[in-house]
Structure 1
Amino acid sequence: MRALTQSDFQALRKDAQVLEADAFGDKVLRLSDGNFMKLFRRKRLISSAALFPYARRFARNALALKRRGIACPEILETYRVADIARDVVHYQPLPGQTLRQLIKEPAHFDDKHLIYRFGHFVAHLHNEGIYFRSLHLGNVVMTPDNELGLIDIADMRVYRRPLRKTVRLRNFKHMLRYKDDARWVLDPAFSEGYLSNQQVCNDMELRTVLNGH
């Protein structure tokens, strides 16, 4: 992680558009060249983020996804800006539209083929040992090449083996908290796509959760 002075940071973010912010300041910036910067604030003096900053986790997760052939942002650099107590990841965004954006269009609102593909994609993540706590329609992108990929990937764990059934179920339960996601996850096309993957643990408990019973 590269140390960056506040003046260098300000020069890098000159003319940037603030895409996301909270009471503590800016969180996501679109730079004048079209690339992005995501800023992470350490919430506690002593925390795991001090030893392994979220910006570095974001970059590590991007590398893990790319090794598995899963589309994601292209990391340019990670920074520590001590003067403003922020860790920063600088990246090229993954082009395309999120599934949440797509389903606002009538043609995609109830697109069974896309729901099936989403289910198959989630199964692929689980088979690759990827547990993405923030997995929802707003973090899955359909790229111009018609493939599904992930964004906002700091909150992720990558295991060496396919996810256990209990971890898969936990991931589904997180997704069911969102209204649109729940409608898709409980659609039979999603379970068909998910269970079509031969590596999936195809047991009754998984089927029960996927079918909303």
Structure 2
Amino acid sequence: MTYPLLTAQHLLNARVIERDPRGIKVLQLPNGDYLKVFRLRHRFSWSRFQGYAQRFSNNASSLAALGIPTVRVINCYQVKNGRLLDYPLSAHSHSEPIQDIAPLTQTYAVHYAPLAGETLKILLDQQQLDTNHVKQLGVFIAELHEKGIHFRSLHLGNIVLTPEGKMGLIDIADMKIYPWSLWFGTRLRSFRHLTRYARINVSFGDTNWSMLVNSYIEHAALTVSQAGILKKKMQHFLLHPPH
């Protein structure tokens, strides 16, 4: 698929939100939209055939079709001028002729409108996450699983409570959507993703984790055996988070 080129005009008055040693990762544009950069991580990678930028765009469309609130993709750009994404954003990059710069390959940027609301992590940090939100989260995860959504970046920082009181997803590049409800083993992996960060696990608290799991079990139509396995697995996940 051919994309338009990212130019200096797209970055005018943009603010850097996130970066790493390779350069800028996320920019906020003056109107509040975001520009997220995707770089090829490995020379031989599935992302070479279907890049993360395209997956991000496809996932946004699929989630919207399934009734899950998420970001709205506006455009996708190919990045040829590597200077544009150097940190800090430099004035000379706005006038640098693109042909004078070593071209990049497999680097793309997605322009999207954010999902309005606050992440559950922010609500937790601000002590605004109540028991109704916790129960709602259990229902929401059950809905995702029923709709075949395996979100590998599932955690409180990527789940948003919208102004309408619904829950939605952000940072959606790493996701697989199946045409069937998730198998039980995949559901367990999803809860492993949810509990990956030790600090969040502790802040969330044992009572809330128990309430969330019970809410999920009530709405996910698990068997008695599966419910028991999930509870035991959750105990293990919370005692041994990877991060």
Q: Same fold (TM over 0.5)?
A: yes
Aligned to 2:112: 91
Unaligned runs of 5+ in 1: none
Q: Does 1:209 align with 2:233?
A: yes
Contact 1:113–1:189 (CA<8 Å) still a contact in 2? Answer: no
Report the more deviating stretch, 191-200 or 147-156: 191-200
Instruction: Give me the whole-angstrom Cα distance separating, in 2, the residues matched to 1:66 and 1:205.
Output: 32
Q: SS at 2:125's partner residue? A: coil
Q: SS at 1:197's partner residue? A: helix
| Equivalent in 121, 124, 127 of residue 106 of structure 1 | 127
Instruction: Give me the whole-angstrom Cα distance separating, in 2, the residues matched to 1:181 and 1:201.
Output: 29
Q: How many residues align?
A: 209
Instruction: Give me the whole-angstrom Cα distance separating, in 1, the residues matched to 2:114 and 2:29.
Output: 11
Shift of 1:35: 0.8
Contact 1:19–1:30 (CA<8 Å) still a contact in 2? Answer: yes
Shift of 1:189: 1.2
Contact 1:119–1:185 (CA<8 Å) still a contact in 2? Answer: no
Q: SS at 1:27's partner residue? A: strand
Aligned to 2:62: 64
Q: Does 1:16 align with 2:14?
A: yes
Superposed CA offset, 1:108-161 (max 9, x none): 2xx221111111111111111111111000000011111100000000001111
Report the more deviating stretch, 170-179 or 137-146: 170-179
Shift of 1:102: 0.4
Distance 1:10 1:128, change over 3 A: same
Unaligned runs of 5+ in 2: 83-103, 238-243
Instruction: Give me the whole-angstrom Cα distance separating, in 1, the residues matched to 2:153 and 2:220.
Output: 25
Instruction: Give me the whole-angstrom Cα distance separating, in 2, the residues matched to 1:164 and 1:181.
Output: 26
Shift of 1:192: 2.0
Instruction: Give me the whole-angstrom Cα distance separating, in 2, the residues matched to 1:20 and 1:199.
Output: 40
Aligned to 1:189: 211
TM-score after normalising by structure 2: 0.79
For 1:51-200, list aligned pairs within 5 A.
Answer: 51-84=49-82, 85=104, 86-108=107-129, 111-183=130-202, 184=204, 187-200=209-222
Contact 1:175–1:182 (CA<8 Å) still a contact in 2? Answer: no
Instruction: Give me the whole-angstrom Cα distance separating, in 2, the residues matched to 1:105 and 1:81.
Output: 38
TM-score after normalising by structure 1: 0.90
| Equivalent in 42, 45, 55 of residue 43 of structure 2 | 45
> 1:87 corresponds to which letter in structure 2?
Y
Report the more deviating stretch, 203-212 or 32-41: 203-212
Q: SS at 2:41's partner residue? A: coil
Shift of 1:181: 4.5
Q: What's the Cα RMSD here?
A: 2.0
Superposed CA offset, 1:20-67 (max 9, x none): 000111101110111111001112233211110111000100111111
Instruction: Give me the whole-angstrom Cα distance separating, in 2, the residues matched to 1:81 and 1:208.
Output: 47
Instruction: Give me the whole-angstrom Cα distance separating, in 2, the residues matched to 1:136 and 1:35.
Output: 23
Instruction: Give me the whole-angstrom Cα distance separating, in 2, the residues matched to 1:149 and 1:60.
Output: 16
- Please state which structure has a larger fraction of its residues in strand: 1
Instruction: Give me the whole-angstrom Cα distance separating, in 2, the residues matched to 1:33 and 1:200.
Output: 45
